[in-house]
């Protein structure tokens, strides 16, 4: 047997068992089959099974009890953060108040061409670039790279950004925010991101790119965000709309208070902590 394939087989088995645990097929508190039984069931060696179980144990999904066996851990923390996709800006401000942040980098730079174009910067105009890791209950769930035009970034300090949500800082500076455009996809964790988020290199991540615009149509923030999918997900509440024969799904608008202020729709659960 090619020994170089064993790590790949172990990773595949770990992902398979993780999926069964996440779906509830293997319930919390359940005892997993022994190593010989798992090896026979999946056609791998006991070494491969042991590596897969070591991965799940280090991720806090199972307990390996000497003399008793291996058991699925009972959830000891609330569910992952669920972001209200239809009311994202409100969610971002609320999440900024309820989660912690670790600032990794802060500098004024010449941004990549794609970022400069998205923000509508003039030739040679710099941006204030920051890299942050956001945490909940001390556990990292997002890796955020942000570019803000220098003229706006100068209105707050590095210390401010380490303590106050960016959207709050922008609004405090008098910057008007009117709309945002964002795309969501998937990517794999590189070495720096993997280390910051406590993952293996090559782990799957949710990827989001957002550009926030002011009333004049110029960009005021460019964000590239990477999320651990086991600790963060997106949700949108929908309702049926349109006339008969042209019915469609439409986002549920956020509610408003008597004062006219927008409040999160039912999908916002930003206060929920990440499963450790």
CATH number at residue 7: 1.10.10.10
Domain assignment present for residue 122? The answer is yes
Q: How many domains are there within the chain?
A: 2
pLDDT (0 to 100) of residue 266: 36
Alpha-helical runs (H) found in 65-185: 88-98, 113-119, 150-153, 158-161, 166-172
Q: Which residues contact 239 (CB under 8 A, 6 or more apart)?
A: 249, 250, 252
Domain that holds residue 244: 81-263
> Do 226 and 249 have their domain in common?
yes
Q: What is the CATH number of the domain that holds 258?
A: 3.40.1410.10
> Tokens 């319930």 appear where?
27
Distance CA 261, CA 133 (A): 30
> Do 59 and 86 have their domain in common?
no
Domain assignment present for residue 27? The answer is yes
> Do 59 and 88 have their domain in common?
no
In degrees and rounded to multiples of 5, residue 195 shows phi and psi of -65, -40
Compute mean pLDDT per 10 residues along the chain, 276 residues long, and list them.
69 86 83 93 92 89 89 68 50 57 94 93 94 88 94 92 87 88 90 90 90 92 92 78 77 48 35 29
pLDDT (0 to 100) of residue 227: 93
pLDDT (0 to 100) of residue 239: 78
Is the pTM higher than 0.75? The answer reads: no
> Do 240 and 153 have their domain in common?
yes
SS3 call for 43: coil
Domain assignment present for residue 275? The answer is no
> Tokens 């851990």 appear where?
73
């Amino acid at each position: 047997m090619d020994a170089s394939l064993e790590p790949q087989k172990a990773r595949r088995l770990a992902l398979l068992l993780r999926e069964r645990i996440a779906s509830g097929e293997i319930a919390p508190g359940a005892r997993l089959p022994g190593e010989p039984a798992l090896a026979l069931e999946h056609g791998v060696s006991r070494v491969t099974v042991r590596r897969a179980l070591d991965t799940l144990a280090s991720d806090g999904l199972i307990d390996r009890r000497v003399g008793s066996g291996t058991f699925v851990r009972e959830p000891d923390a609330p569910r992952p953060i669920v972001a209200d996709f239809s009311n994202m800006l409100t969610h971002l401000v609320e999440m900024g108040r309820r989660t912690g942040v670790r600032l990794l980098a802060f500098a004024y730079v010449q941004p990549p061409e794609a970022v400069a174009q998205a923000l509508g910067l003039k030739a040679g105009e710099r941006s204030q670039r920051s890299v942050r890791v956001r945490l909940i209950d001390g556990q990292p769930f997002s890796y955020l790279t942000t570019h803000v035009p220098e003229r706006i970034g100068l209105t707050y300090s590095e210390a401010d950004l380490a303590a106050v949500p960016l959207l709050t800082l922008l609004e405090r500076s008098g910057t008007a925010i009117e709309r945002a455009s964002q795309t969501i996809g998937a990517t794999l964790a590189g070495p720096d991101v993997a280390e910051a988020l406590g993952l293996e290199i090559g782990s799957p991540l949710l990827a989001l790119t957002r550009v926030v615009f002011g009333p004049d149509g110029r960009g005021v923030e460019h964000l590239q965000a990477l999320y651990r999918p086991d600790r963060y997900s997106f949700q949108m509440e929908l309702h049926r709309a349109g006339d008969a024969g042209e019915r469609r799904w439409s986002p549920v608008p956020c509610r408003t208070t008597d004062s006219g202020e927008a409040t999160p729709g039912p999908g916002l659960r930003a206060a929920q902590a990440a499963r450790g």
